[in-house]
């Protein structure tokens, strides 16, 4: 069993892990850069140690320093969270070499899924459907020949890539050479590896991912899907669970494929298998994230399974007590990522001191955050300030709850993406669940409040949704037992209040 865990991260995910440790009776150790000396995760942990200057390369990416602090603090495990060193096989190896437990998958699994070409080959061998494309790193001459065979549109992708870096869309044969050169340059700069491969572009696809859990005793199960198609520049903006496009039959097939993918690389811990889902209900393996996902809370809200606690238990050698038949999906959950950026000014990053915070509360509302009044928002780290998550019995009710929660959320001192989400959850496409990975950049328009009156089609859809719920409420009221104040009395009270 684990006793003391160092969290090699910062921000809301560090706070999230610290809370899980506390509930399991584990001691927690925080680390902080010079910029995070007064951060929330430092205040929440049982112990906290400095690890270097503000730039991540000199602090949170210093594997040697993190391990040194863990040993000095008497920790027996390191949880990497997400980002930073979470998917670095060499870090997982170094942690194990120091006699510590890495709260995550074995380095061999990270390596197998971290290389896009290698992971495609492993998935094909495991019978997991993959997008048509090449199976190995290509020279430019091989890529030109393969492009003509695959057909257009296609994607040039960096083998070691992620987050859209080293990726180029190509629609015509004459554009392949230039796109290859640009993709290689960007991949070499971002990852130190310019290896590329080609993949058929599945147009109008949705990004749907399956959460898996695997223990050291050979048990692997899945916790269903998350819809992650609301993306901007290949970065997720809003997620929901379950997906409005996934039927129980598709979930069963996709879940089985995700379990097969995890077994193919002897996976252990929590992980996510990402798929592209086309308009016909066919899906294709995209990649596997060998870590905890930012959007894990929506799965927790719908299944009732605490993923961080499960990761800690698995790392401690415990067997999963859950069976696949135990997993149930109840209601609907939506997550909005609240970033420090100005959606009215081309999403320009916003920095400064937070001068006030009012978080939404109430039934079915969860805020994963590490911000507080007086906190400094800098350019050194990811712009995400918090995650706003809501859950309800149905998707329409969850949308209405998210609208209410967003209206209550106040962050002063910096610009945030809250207005983006307020507009987004009111679009007809989102309300209908009819969107794909290209929607946010190709069809969505960030309107100013003064422009919203002219957006009649979307407003009509919102009103229709609200009316449906109002009628449902009226039916409930008519069925309720008599005895309360009459409508005449209530009307008189409202009039008196208006006069006041």
Q: In this structure, is the dihedral angle defined by the CA atoms of residues 13, 18, 24 and 26, taken in order, positive or negative? A: positive
Pure H helices in 128-238: 140-150, 176-191
337 DSSP 8-state letter = E
> Which tokens hold the place of 424?
């987004």
Q: Which of 16, 206, 291, 401 is catalytic?
A: 291
Buried b (16+ CB within 10 A) or exposed e, 265-300: bebbbbbbbbbbbbeeeebbbbbbbbbbbbbbbbbb
Burial of residue 55 (CB within 10 Å: 0-12, 13-18, 19+) is middle
Strand partners, 384: 339
- Residue 12: count other Cβ atoms within 10 Å of its Cβ: 22
Residue for token digits 């679009």?
A: 427
Q: In this structure, is the dihedral angle defined by the CA atoms of residues 108, 111, 116 and 118, taken in order, positive or negative? A: negative
- Residue 129: count other Cβ atoms within 10 Å of its Cβ: 15
Category of 83 on φ-ψ map: left (φ > 0), alpha (ψ -120 to 50) or beta: left
User: Is residue 98 helix, strand or coil?
Assistant: coil
Q: Could you tell me the strand order of the sheet in which 220-232 lies?
A: 283-289, 269-277, 206-214, 220-232, 235-241, 332-339, 384-392, 365-369
Query: Any catalytic annotation for residue 401?
Result: no
Category of 364 on φ-ψ map: left (φ > 0), alpha (ψ -120 to 50) or beta: left
Query: Do 130 and 150 meet the contact criterion of CB atoms below 8 Å apart?
Result: no
Choose among 215, 223, 259, 261: nearest CA to 241. Answer: 223
Active site residue ranges = 291
């Amino acid at each position: 069993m684990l006793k003391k865990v160092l969290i090699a991260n910062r921000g809301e995910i560090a706070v999230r892990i610290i809370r899980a440790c506390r509930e399991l009776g584990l001691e927690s150790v925080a680390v902080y850069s010079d910029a995070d000396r007064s951060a929330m995760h430092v205040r929440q942990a049982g112990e906290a140690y400095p690890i270097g200057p503000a730039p991540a390369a000199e602090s949170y990416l210093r594997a040697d320093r993190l391990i040194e602090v863990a040993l000095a603090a008497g920790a027996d495990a390191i949880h990497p969270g997400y980002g930073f060193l979470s998917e670095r096989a060499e870090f997982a190896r170094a942690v194990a070499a120091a006699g510590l437990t890495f709260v995550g998958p074995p380095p061999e699994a990270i390596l197998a899924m971290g290389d896009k070409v290698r992971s495609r080959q492993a998935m094909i061998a495991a019978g997991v459907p993959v997008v048509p494309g090449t199976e190995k790193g290509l020279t430019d001459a091989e890529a030109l020949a393969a492009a003509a065979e695959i057909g257009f549109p296609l994607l040039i992708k960096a083998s070691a890539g992620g987050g859209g870096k080293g990726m180029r869309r190509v629609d015509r044969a004459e554009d392949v050479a230039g796109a290859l050169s640009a993709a290689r340059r960007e991949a070499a700069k971002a990852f130190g590896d310019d290896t590329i491969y080609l993949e058929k572009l599945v147009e109008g696809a949705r990004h749907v991912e399956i959460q898996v859990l695997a223990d050291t005793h050979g048990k692997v199960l899945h916790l269903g899907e998350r819809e992650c198609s609301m993306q901007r520049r290949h970065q997720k903006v809003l997620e929901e669970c379950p997906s409005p496009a996934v039927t129980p039959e598709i979930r069963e097939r996709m879940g089985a494929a995700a379990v097969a993918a995890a077994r193919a690389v002897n996976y252990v811990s929590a992980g996510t298998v990402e798929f592209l889902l086309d308009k016909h209900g066919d899906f294709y393996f995209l990649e596997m994230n060998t870590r905890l996902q930012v959007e894990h809370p929506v799965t927790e809200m719908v299944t009732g399974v605490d993923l961080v606690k499960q990761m800690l238990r698995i790392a401690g050698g415990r067997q999963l007590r859950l069976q696949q038949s135990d997993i149930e999906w109840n209601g609907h959950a939506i997550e909005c990522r609240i970033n420090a950026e100005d959606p009215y000014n081309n999403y320009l990053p916003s920095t400064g001191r937070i001068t006030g915070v009012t978080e939404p509360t109430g039934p079915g509302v969860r805020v994963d955050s590490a911000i507080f009044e007086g906190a400094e928002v800098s350019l050194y780290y990811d712009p995400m300030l918090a995650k706003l998550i809501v859950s309800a019995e149905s998707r329409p009710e969850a949308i209405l709850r998210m609208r209410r929660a967003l209206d209550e959320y106040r962050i002063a001192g910096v610009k945030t993406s809250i207005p983006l989400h307020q507009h987004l959850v009111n679009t007809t496409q989102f309300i209908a669940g009819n969107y794909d990975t290209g929607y946010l950049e190709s069809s969505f328009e960030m309107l100013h409040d003064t422009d919203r009156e002219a957006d009649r089609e979307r407003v009509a859809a919102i009103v229709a949704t609200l009316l449906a719920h109002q009628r449902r409420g009226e039916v409930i009221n008519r069925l309720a037992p008599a005895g309360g104040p009459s409508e005449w009395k209530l009307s008189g009270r409202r009039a008196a209040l208006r006069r006041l």
